[in-house]
Amino acid sequence: MNEGLVECVPNFSEGKNIETIEEICNSINHVKGVTLLDVDSSEDFNRTVITFVGSPKSVLEAAINCAKKGIELIDMTKHSGEHARMGAVDVVPFIPINNSTMNECVSLAEEFAKKIGNEMQIPVYLYAKAAKSPERILLPNIRKGEYEGLNQKIMENEWIPDEGPQKFVPKSGATATGARSVLIAYNVNLNTNDKSEANKIAGLIRTSGVLIKDDQGNKILDEFGKPKRKKGKFPELQAAGWMYDKKTAQVSMNLLDYNKTGMHTIIEEIKKEAAKQNLEVTAGELVGLIPLNALIDSGKFYHNNPDSASIEELVDSAVDGLMLNKLDLFDKNKRIIEWAAK
């Protein structure tokens, strides 16, 4: 049996300084047995998402290398951007692809957390399948309050880091690492510059839904004192309203399981909700890479005769239907994990 293939998708709080981004990428490329698949930077988000694959041992080495370089070069005291973040190296997930298991990726995350926490002396949290408590499974729970609230949050007993010191490190903030299934970061742009319009739609479709409030706008609490929520329409979906640029609001999403909630289902629902607000969907955006099967599923929805279509034709139909070619050329051979890793 071939050695397992693991994917790693670290997110860095730097999307403007090309030299810094190149140095981080170089620290990955120097590791034998690792293939750098994608580097996606956003100046407005001031964030870079890097995707690489390889054997478990090689991926771990590359993840440690690039995290150390990011911690060395990025200064969070000078950082600002649209995307939620809590640290210079914000999150480092390990994902099983071929002939690898979730348990292996949990072990990689634990080893990464211990190494970075101890050697770089920054707080590290374990999330998703590597989480040590239910409160830490979801990344938004760990990131809540973001970098600006970390100084106070980290001193609370329930937010003692899993590795590294229990202290606020102004230059670097904190890092989260974990093991998860393939996550698809898919955003949909609207023809408005009002972020609240995108946030309304996000609240309707995301799994967590929205807070229930009374006529005065106050949260309604349940018998345990927790805010009541009206659940959203789709499972395994995170969503929020962000700004793509100064003129364009977008519904920014993470699909945690595309088999339960596909991209075509989401964009079609966003079109309906946008129309109710007299808005239109103008483009779709994929951050990072995507599994081939996710595009095939959407291609079957959009193709006129999916039963007789080739895989290439289904992919083309998906790209068109999901509006992935509106903002820039969608290079299938670089954006589809299985094709990029060949």
Domains, the chain, ordered by start: 5-179 (3.30.990.10), 184-340 (3.30.70.670)
Say what the pLDDT of residue 279 is.
98
* pLDDT band per the 50, 70, 90 thresholds, residue 214: confident
Indicate if the pLDDT at residue 60 is higher than 90: yes
Looking at the annotation, which residues are catalytic? 83
pLDDT of residue 197: 97
Query: If pLDDT is split at 50, 70 and 90, which confidence band does 212 have?
Result: confident
In this predicted structure, what is the pLDDT of residue 273?
97
Kindly report the three-state secondary structure assignment for every residue of the chain.
CCCCEEEECCEECCCCCHHHHHHHHHHHHCCCCEEEEEEEEECCCCEEEEEEEECHHHHHHHHHHHHHHHHHHCCHHHCCCCCCCCECEEEEEEEEEECCCHHHHHHHHHHHHHHHHHHHCCCEEEEECCCCCHHHCCHHHHHCCHHHHHHHHCCCHHHCCCECCCCCCCCCECEEEEECCCCEEEEEEECCCCHHHHHHHHHHHCCCCEECECCCCCECECCCCCECEECCCCCCEEEEEEEEECCEEEEEEEECCCCCCCHHHHHHHHHHHHHHCCCCEEEEEEECCECHHHHHHHHHHHCCCHHHCCHHHHHHHHHHHCCCCCCCCCCHHHHEHHHHCC
Rounded-to-integer distance, Cα 135 and Cα 106, Å:
17
The pLDDT score that the predictor gives to residue 1 is 40
What average pLDDT is seen over the chain? 94
Percent of the chain with pLDDT over 90: 81
Task: Work out the pLDDT band at 2, boundaries 50, 70, 90.
Answer: low
pLDDT exceeds 90 at position 287:
no
Exposed (0-12), middle (13-18) or buried (19+): which is 18, by Cβ within 10 Å? Answer: exposed
